[in-house]
Amino acid sequence: MVKALFFKEWLKIKWAYWTMALLTFLVLIKIGLNLSYYMRILEAKTFWYQVIIMGGMFFQDFVYLPALIGLVIGFTQFMPEISADRLKLTLHLPMKENAILLYMVGYGTLMLLILFAGTYLLFSIMVAYFFPFQVVKAVWISMAPWFLAGFVVYWVTSAVFVERIWLKRIIIIVIAVLFTETLLYHYAYEIYRYSIGYFFILALLWSIGILYTGYRFKKGVLK
């Protein structure tokens, strides 16, 4: 049953997923070409100085990308469920309603994790080619909140779509925007080095937000 549910989720997101994967790959190529360009034009030692001493972030193209991916995947996965109240069909499947919702969100999370992990891996290889491990580690820590924001945006999008009432949707979106905004700071390396764990725990709370809006959907709550 879970396999069939995942099959349905894949059918909804596959085009968006491949498009986002392609976009991520293009961003990786762009950053790679930029790196190569700076090394050749500015000379390695100047670029090195800018990155290591001045703290220049050469990967700022990644700041909003995970959030965009989270939004697109959440939209494509939950829009068909909400249009024409199709979620009623899904919740009528012979499984527990909460389990159905969690499997749906779990699938999207898993697919994001695969895409984000692949991006991290390829980018790490690229950075490791030009810089020592200390820089690679700093890049990992610096990018972590941005990718965490990607998951949060996805979880919020799924919860917002399942909510029926616009006022509640707006309230959820406002709270989520305030939270996500703090994850997207990018003025220095490793600014979340000591707090990323706490942000991670807070972010996880959003992952079960769909249980709240799903409960309201099921009860037909109109206020």
The H or E element that residue 166 is part of is: helix 166-183
8 binds other proteins (CB under 8 A): yes
220 binds other proteins (CB under 8 A): yes
73 binds other proteins (CB under 8 A): no
The set of residues, in sequence order, having a beta carbon less than 8 Å from that of 162 and lying 6+ positions away, is: 78, 81, 82, 87, 101, 210, 213, 214, 217
Smallest distance from other proteins to CB 34, Å = 38
- Give the residue, chosen from 22, 89, 175, 177, that forms a contact with other proteins under the rule CB under 8 A: 89
Count Cα atoms within 13 angstroms, Cβ side, for 196. Answer: 17
Smallest distance from other proteins to CB 221, Å = 8
Q: Which is nearer to other proteins, 43 or 85 (by Cβ)?
A: 85
Determine the distance from the C-alpha atom of residue 125 to the mean position of all C-alpha atoms in its chain, rounded to a whole number: 21
- Give the residue, chosen from 23, 91, 122, 202, that forms a contact with other proteins under the rule CB under 8 A: 91
4 binds other proteins (CB under 8 A): yes
Query: Coil, strand or helix: which one is 143?
Result: helix
118 binds other proteins (CB under 8 A): no
On whether the CB atoms of residues 140 and 124 are closer than 8 A, the answer is: yes
Count residues near other proteins (CB under 8 A): 26
- Give the residue, chosen from 44, 46, 85, 171, that forms a contact with other proteins under the rule CB under 8 A: 85
- Give the residue, chosen from 92, 175, 198, 205, that forms a contact with other proteins under the rule CB under 8 A: 92
In the chain, what are the helix, strand and coil shares in percent, each to the nearest 5? 85, 0, 15
State both tokens at 130. 């030009």
Footprint of other proteins (CB under 8 A): 1, 3-4, 7-8, 11-12, 80, 84-86, 88-89, 91-96, 217-223
